[in-house]
Each structure stands twice: as structure tokens, then as C-alpha cells.
Amino acid sequence: MNPSPRWSPWLLAPACALLPGLALAQDGLNAANTSWILTSTALVLFMTLPGLSLFYAGLVRTRNVLSVLMQCFSIAVVISILWLLLGYSIAFGPSESAWWGGLGKAFFRGVGVDSLAGDIPETVFAAFQMTFAIITPALIVGAFVERIRFGSMLVFSLLWALLVYFPVANWVWGGGWLGAMGLIDFAGGTVVHLTAGVAAVILALELGKRQGFLTASVVPHNLTMSFTGAAMLWVGWFGFNAGSALAADGAAGMALFVTHTSAAAGALTWMALDRIKFGKASGLGAITGMVAGLATITPAAGSVGPMGGLLLGLMGGVICYFATIYMKQRLKIDDSLDVFPVHGVGGITGTLLAAVLVSGGLGIFSGTGMPADMTMGSQLMVQVTGVVAIGLYTGVLTWVIVKGVAATMGLRVDADEEQMGLDITGHDEKGYSM
């Protein structure tokens, strides 16, 4: 996605000529690109509110539906404010450090109506990036539903964004060391999906299993709601991936196409595997496979062609399917809504395979072409370095944050509160009135 204004080659391209009668603040502003990124910003926020919110809320039990909606909504609220105060500067500030952007743009210092990021307004660029900062901690919600304290969840999300997401975004997209190495991560395979997935595992282990996990029937209370949210995620993901071209051009068009194809392939794969294993294709499997396909294509959406997108969706569907079964049935980790096996594993798969499928010499599977001075082997080493470094950093920092919050505020609700449900105990409200 998201090369910063300092590193992106397409942000430095000459702007298109403007119509003489068009009143614009800057001669270098490209109206078409600006319009597309404004639209993409709305689409990515649509992924969280309402897409992810409804997707997750339908998968929990009736007594917890409102708590999940509140968690996603509240994360959007607090991360938006944090992004304004510090997040944008840490991720995309003017610092020449390879590790963070500094505080030069804290409180949006120097960001006005006349400032540009390439050929779009900097405010639009910052708003687009903010939506990624919102959805990443919101994805983690799926790991701790039905058993976390609301206040602790908010404090964790704020600290996690500040110490994990913002610096990692700088490493990859803001001019940091991984971007300088040439890591291919077009729209968030490492920055979004890997970080969220690793954090999900840490939280799931710290919180422990829900009551009744693998011993009682814990089924989604409203798959219609989850289907609705999943459909919104599918549509909103076009802003996530195609918007990451930061221009209304052929790269955006290709990213949109391969995103759609990969989602379809992931859904089809999951349905087929369910049919083989259980004798019937499940609705829950279809929408989960769709998300797996989307997570897998995300890092590679700017590097692969149509058949590469199809292959990534198929492989993401298979790998994430068996990763989900392994985590629950063999490891018995209650990552409740499968954040790591779908988003984490999908993001890793797409990030690593991007090194192969970017090649221009693979026939119908050819991508956009290997970067200059890179071979498939050297690019794969860069991808592995990115996955390992971001995975380890996220794991260690998440563990420190979780332990700190647990020691000072407590993390898990008590057994009686969990039995009553978080809607009543956490918010004194109900998602449904009977």
C-alpha cells in the first residue's frame, strides 16, 4: 500500500495537466487520484464500520453481540484520535531514522490544505492511512471476544497501536529499513495481517479458553449478520488494495481485479474442503475462505497478474483452512474467530509467495516483474526477513503490553460475568430486546 511520500516512485511522477478553469489549491494536485483515494478511504473505514463489526458480531453468542460491536466501534474512535496526535507522525513523519518517523508531524503540525503527499492532499493520504491503523487492532478483537474487560481492551489497543502498529508501518511504508530493503507488501500482509495475527495468539494464550470451548456447543448466533458483514468486507477491500496504488491507474485496476479473484478462489476452496470433510459446504466456511483469500492477496496485490491472484486465493484457502483446524483441534488455542490462522497465516503466505509470483517469467502466472537488482532468491530472503522481524517484534511487544495491562487493570472478566454475557456486565445493555 502505502509507500510514503519520501519513497514512492509513483508519488514523485509528474502530475497531469489541470483544466484551466478548475480552482485547486495546488497546481500539482491530481483531481482523479484525489477522488479515488477519498473513495478508498471511505471504503476501508466501511470495512471496519460496519463490515468487520457485523462479521464478528454474528459469530458470537447472543449475550455478547453488543460487546463486539462496541469493541470495534470504540477502537475506531480512540485510534482516530491517537492517529491525529502521534500516529501519523510516527508512521510517516519526516525523521530520517530507519526505525520511526519521529514527532515532527505530531498533532498534524505542518499538515494543511496546501500540503501534498505526491499529487494528492496530505490530509487525504493521512486519512487513508488512518483507516488501516483503525482496522488492524480491530482485527485482533476476534481473538478475545466474550471474555475481555472493555476498559482493558481499549488501553491494550491504544498501547499496541502506539508501540507496534505505528513503528511497523514506518518500517515498511514510511521510509524505514524494510522498505529500503525492498520488502514487497503492497497493502498490509505484514503491517496489518501478520501483526494482528501474532497479537491475537498472544492474547488468546494470556486470556485462556472461553467457558465451554471444545466441550460445549459454541455456535454463531446470527450467520445472516456475519454474511452481511463479510459482503461489506469484500467490497471494502477494493479500497484496501486498489487504493494502495495511491492513483487511479492501471495498477489500481489490476489490484482490484486480483483482489476479487483471490477472494472468490478462497471461498470456493474452503467450501470444497468442507464438502470433502463434512459432506456439506458451510456458509461459515464460505465467508471465512473469502477472508482468507483477501488476506493472502493483500501483500501481493500490486505484484501479481490475474492468474497469480487466482493461485494465491486457492493456496491461501487451503493453507488457512488446515491452519484453523490445527490451532483449534491440535493446539487447543481459543483464538475465537480465527484471527491468526486466517489473517496471520494468510498474510505470511501472500508475503512469501509475492517473491515468486512477482517474476515476469512464469508464463500465465507472471507478475509485474522482479525489482531491479533482485533475483527470486534474494527477494525471498527480503520477504522472510520482513516476516521474521515483524513477527518477533510484534510478539515481544504484545506480550509486554498484555502483561502490563493484566497486572494493572486485569484482563479477563470473572466467570459469573462471562456466563451472564458482556452485553449486560460491560455495558448494561442488550443487543436484542425480547
Mean pLDDT, rounded, for 318-339: 97
**Cα separation of 321 and 299, whole Å?**
19
pLDDT over threshold 60, residue 23? no
- Look at residue 128 in the predicted model and tell me its pLDDT: 98
Rounded to whole angstroms, how far apart are CA atoms 310 and 322?
19
**Whole-model pTM?**
0.93
Helix (H, G, I), strand (E, B) or coil at 148: strand
pLDDT at 6 over 90: no
Distance, in Å, from the CA atom of 293 to the CA atom of 264, rounded to the nearest integer, reads: 7
Mean pLDDT of 154-176: 98
Q: Which residues does 375 contact at the CB level (< 8 Å), separation at least 6?
A: none
Residue type, 89: S
CA angle 423–224–290, rounded 5-degree value:
105
Nearest to 302 by CA among 358, 263, 342: 358
Can you tell me the mean pLDDT for 114-130? 97
Q: Which amino acid is at 14?
A: P
Is pLDDT of 252 > 60?
A: yes
* Phi, psi (degrees; rounded to nearest 5) at 245: -70, -20
d(CA 245, CA 253) in angstroms, rounded, equals 9
CB 423 within 8 A of CB 64: yes
User: pLDDT category, 17, cuts 50, 70, 90?
Assistant: very low
For residue range 35-77, what is the model confidence (pLDDT) as tens digits? 999 999 999 999 999 999 999 999 999 999 999 999 999 999 9
5 pLDDT exceeds 50?
Answer: no
pLDDT digits (tens, 9 = 90+) for 134-148: 999 999 999 999 999
Residue by residue, DSSP assigns 279-302 as: SS--HHHHHHHHHHHHHHHGGGTT
Share of residues in the chain with pLDDT > 90 (%): 90
pLDDT of residue 218: 83
Ordered by start, the domain boundaries in the chain are 38-414
Residue 12: predicted pLDDT? 32
Q: What is the mean predicted confidence (pLDDT) over 163-174?
A: 98
Q: How far is CA 188 from the centre of its chain?
A: 6
| pLDDT tier at 22, thresholds 50, 70, 90 | very low
pLDDT of residue 212: 87
Residue 434's pLDDT band (cuts 50, 70, 90): low
User: Which CATH number is associated with domain 38-414?
Assistant: 1.10.3430.10
Q: Is the pLDDT of residue 222 over 60?
A: yes
Cβ(196)–Cβ(338) below 8 Å? no
Determine what percent of the chain is predicted with pLDDT higher than 70.
Answer: 94
Identify whether the C-beta of residue 141 lies closer than 8 Å to the C-beta of residue 75: yes
